[in-house]
Chains A and B, each alone.
Chain A
Amino acid sequence: MIEGTEVIDFHGHVGRWDRYGMNDDPALLLHAMDAAGIDLSCVFHIFHPDGTTGNDLTARFVAQHPDRFIGFVYVSPLMPARMLPELARAIDELGFPAIKLYPPYTPWPLSEPQWFPIYEFANARGLTVLFHTGPEPQSYPKLVGEIAPRYPHANFVIGHAGNTPVERAQAIAAAQANPNVYLETCSTFRTPGVIEQLVNEAGADRVIFGSDLPLMDPRPQLGKIITADISEDAKRLIIGDNARRLLKL
């Protein structure tokens, strides 16, 4: 909690990536979250294309501290027959409120038909979809802008807000053109003025704090928001209020 605002980290992982120091020991995550005032972190497991394996690991992780973590469901069109059953299972049985997709782990740009069943599911249920985006051709943010108007009852969050300058411009344009597109902030590219640019060009009500924990410590990523030259009202929207709205908390 920061000055009365519940802080929600919208982008986190379950699993280990040892070569880069990513370790999902809950004590590590909770220490960093507590030190910075982060109340809730949204987490997902993206390393298993069947979806089920990782989603079960996510559920077990969340169950250890259900007041601090929220699980998102992960599926992949690498195993298309499993997508819809797994989405239904994770949403209805595991209680996950949103979907995470990682297009670079597939050959298909996120605007290709292989992904459409997922969007149709999200649209029918009024769910939020968080994408990894960046300079990879599968993940261009402009593609989110192409699909968003076709699924008006779903919300689409552009993870990393595109990450790099050209893709960031695409991300902002997608948010400007579509009321159901949001921009999430985590990135190791902590370029000066990025948070200010997102707020000024897309609106503070469309920007969502994320950290990529535990690949990255959430503290410098939250620090990007707190030390940005934006209003306190904008900071409150970004660090928690917008996420609460999307997750229907």
Chain B
Amino acid sequence: MTSLNFKPRVPVFDANVRVGHRHDELSACADRATLLAEMDRCGVARAVIYHAQTDEISPIDGNHALETWLAADGRLVPQWSIMPTPASLAQVQALHQQGRVTSVRLHNTWLAGLPFRPWAYAELLTWLSEQQIPLWIPLPDLDADALVSTLQAFPNLVTVCVGAHYTHHLLLRPLLRGVPNAYLELSRYEPIGEIEALRDEFGARRLVYGSWYARYAMGPMLFYLHHTNLSETELALVCAGNLERILGGVTQ
């Protein structure tokens, strides 16, 4: 039964939240209090967050900026951005030595001429695989052939593909079939009936709720997930359980 007022009925852990302002775009999510208020309004208990400065400018500076968003309550779980340079790798490895890395996010280097190929990414992807650190990969603009063939070369690497749009429709099934350790984050994926169809084909364990707030509103995909024929067990997995498993149960 649909209501004019929606709240999720299972615990929610958002896999994809961008915080802070971009260089070219102000965010609705300018500070920690604003984010927590929106999470409370939408019924989201916890969120994996990364800083907007890491999108286009600097993963290293953006990771520094992320620190001000964190607190001991553990509601906001940091996601550090990374690229295949010695400085970036050293920053994340130092954080890892402190026990503060549960996931990392790929910074777009192919815009600057370095493709997502094994010859360019082997050191980074090998280290992530060895350390069992999952990698979030934004799908927009990434070459599909580079994505699938590179991930197939690192079969132990766990990845979460974020931001799939209806324009990625033809890619997703070969990707999920060809890369068994890839999960699909759902923030933008709206072709009709596709969440239920992907559940039928690949299982609910491959799907992860994320909002990509503050780029997108936090509530609509949660509303969608709660109005599918997913079982309560499947809904709980997609809204939080799968993410908790991917992060290894560690929150900070």
Contacts and interface: CB of A to CB of B under 8 A. Distances in A.
B229 interface: yes
B98 to A, nearest CB: 33
B97 interface: no
Interface stretch (A53-61, A128-136, A209-217): A209-217
A21 B41 contact: no
A227 B217 contact: yes
Contact of B217 (A36, A192, A214, A218): A192
Nearest to A212: B190
Given A37-B2, A227-B42, A227-B223, A192 B191 contact: no
B6 A226 contact: yes
A206 B237 CA distance: 39
Interface in B1-21: 1-6
Interface in B140-191: 165-167, 169-170, 188, 190-191
Interface string A205-249: 000000001111111111110111100100110000000000000
A216 B216 contact: no
A160 B144 CA distance: 29
A194 B219 CA distance: 13
A235 B3 CA distance: 11
Contacts of A32: 192-193
Contacts of A188: 165-166, 188, 190
A193 B223 CA distance: 16
B218 interface: yes
B56 interface: no
Given A214-B192, A222-B223, A2 B2 contact: yes
Given A32-B193, A188-B166, A220 B221 contact: yes
B217 A219 contact: no
Main SS of chain B's interface residues?
Answer: loop
A65 interface: no
Taking residues whose C-beta sits less than 8 angstroms from the other chain, chain A's interface range is 35 or more
Contact of A220 (B38, B41, B190, B193): B190
Nearest to A195: B217
A226 B216 contact: no
Interface in B183-222: 188, 190-195, 213-222
Contacts, number: 120
B167 A20 contact: yes
B23 interface: no
Contacts of A3: 3-4
Given A20-B169, A21-B194, A36-B2, A220 B229 contact: no
A229 B190 CA distance: 22
A220 B223 contact: yes
Interface residues of B, number: 38
Interface stretch (A22-30, A42-50, A72-80, A167-175): A22-30
Contacts of B214: 192
B228 A224 contact: no
A191 interface: yes
A81 interface: no
A34 B167 CA distance: 26
Interface string A180-198: 0000000011111110000
A218 B38 CA distance: 23
B122 interface: no
A21 B166 contact: yes
B139 interface: no
A219 B222 CA distance: 10
B166 A227 contact: no
16 contacts: A2-B3, A2-B4, A20-B167, A22-B192, A23-B192, A32-B192, A36-B227, A188-B188, A189-B216, A192-B28, A192-B38, A215-B166, A220-B190, A223-B6, A224-B217, A227-B223
Interface of B: 1-6, 28-29, 38, 41-42, 165-167, 169-170, 188, 190-195, 213-224, 227-229
Given A21-B194, A220-B224, 17 more contacts: A22-B166, A22-B191, A35-B227, A35-B229, A190-B220, A192-B28, A192-B213, A194-B217, A214-B192, A216-B190, A219-B223, A220-B190, A221-B190, A222-B2, A226-B3, A228-B219, A235-B4
